[in-house]
């Protein structure tokens, strides 16, 4: 009887220890997830940035070039510089609002939330992607990281689900980063039915002057149409502490016409 009592006590203690260990592991995993997301936002966006990009749209065999400015998390301006027939077209994000400018008709138009999932310039990127309206850190709940693998690279996979009040267009996203230095490798986008709709792949990592290991090639694969994708090649990227307020106004949106 005494032996059974001791055994029961030992099992109870073991169960408590196991539960505490599981909780500690979950907390560690949640802390890791938060670090992954923080590092990703800091790497990709910083406080403010300016740069130039080239976009290749496989569907149309078309290449666009653009310049951009951004102050995280609520201001951005993207303007096409080529080809000539599209030069001057621009998108401006101010807070939760997105505006577009068409120099051919000298018209500024506010983009309604219902069009945030629409294609930007016929590419596989959306209005939401180009304006960078969504912030992973601010707009999503972050779930514990899970171990994964991409080829020979050990990874962490983090599931993100939008907060109820967030202006987010996807049902959930999954971010996958390398375990060795937490560089972003892949981002999955799931639609309202829970179906995987797009995959973003990051590559061509280069060390910048400030030490960040930045991906200079982004490839968005559209899984709703086999073989369809859009690539963004970063031509120039500079991270700064701030940008002038007058960079992000309706007047500045029209300035490049």
User: Could you tell me if residue 20 is inside a domain?
Assistant: no
Instruction: Identify whether 8 is part of a domain.
Output: no
Adjacent-strand bridge partners of 184: 177
* pLDDT class of 134 with cuts at 50, 70, 90: low
Per-residue pLDDT tens for 181-206? 889 999 999 998 999 999 999 999 99
Judged against a pLDDT cut of 50, whether residue 62 lies above it is answered with yes
**Structural domain contains residue 83:** yes
| Burial group, residue 97, by CB count within 10 angstroms (0-12, 13-18, 19+) | middle
Q: For all residues of the chain together, what is the average pLDDT? A: 85
* pLDDT of amino acid 132: 64
| Whole-prediction pTM | 0.83
What value does the mean pLDDT take over residues 167-186?
A: 90
Whether 164 is in a domain gets the answer yes
Q: Which tokens is 182 given? A: 């937490």
Torsion over CA: 137, 139, 143, 148 (sign): negative
Would you say residue 246 lies in a domain?
Answer: yes
Among candidates 256, 251, 248, 257, which has minimal Cα distance to 94? 248
Count: domains in the chain: 1
CATH number, domain of 161, equals 2.50.20.10
Asked whether residue 195 is assigned to any structural domain, the reply reads yes
Domain around 238: 41-255
Model confidence over 3-14: pLDDT tens digits?
A: 544 444 444 434
The answer to whether residue 2 sits within a structural domain is no
Assess if residue 7 is contained within a domain.
no
């Amino acid at each position: 009887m005494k032996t059974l009592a001791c055994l029961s006590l030992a099992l109870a203690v073991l169960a408590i220890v196991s539960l505490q260990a599981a909780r500690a592991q979950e907390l560690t995993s949640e802390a890791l997830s938060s670090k992954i997301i923080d590092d990703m936002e800091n790497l990709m966006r910083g406080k403010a940035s300016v740069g130039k990009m080239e976009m290749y749209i496989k569907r149309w065999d078309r290449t666009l070039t653009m310049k951009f400015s951004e102050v995280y998390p609520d201001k951005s301006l993207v303007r096409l510089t080529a080809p000539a027939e599209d030069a001057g077209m621009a998108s401006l994000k101010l807070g939760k609002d997105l505006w577009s400018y068409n120099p051919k008709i000298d018209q500024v138009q506010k983009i309604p939330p219902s069009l945030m999932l629409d294609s930007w310039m016929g590419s596989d990127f959306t209005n939401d992607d180009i304006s960078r309206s969504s912030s992973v850190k601010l707009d999503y709940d972050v779930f514990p990281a899970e171990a994964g693998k991409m080829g020979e690279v050990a990874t962490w996979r983090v599931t993100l689900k939008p907060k109820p009040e967030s202006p987010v267009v996807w049902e959930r996203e999954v971010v996958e980063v390398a375990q060795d230095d937490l560089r972003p490798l892949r981002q999955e986008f799931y639609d309202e039915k829970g179906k995987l709709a797009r995959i973003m792949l990051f590559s061509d990592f280069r060390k910048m002057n400030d030490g960040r290991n930045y991906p200079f090639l982004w490839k968005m694969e559209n899984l709703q149409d086999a073989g369809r994708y859009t690539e963004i090649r970063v031509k120039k990227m500079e991270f700064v502490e701030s940008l002038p307020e007058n960079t992000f106004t309706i007047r500045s949106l029209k300035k490049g016409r």
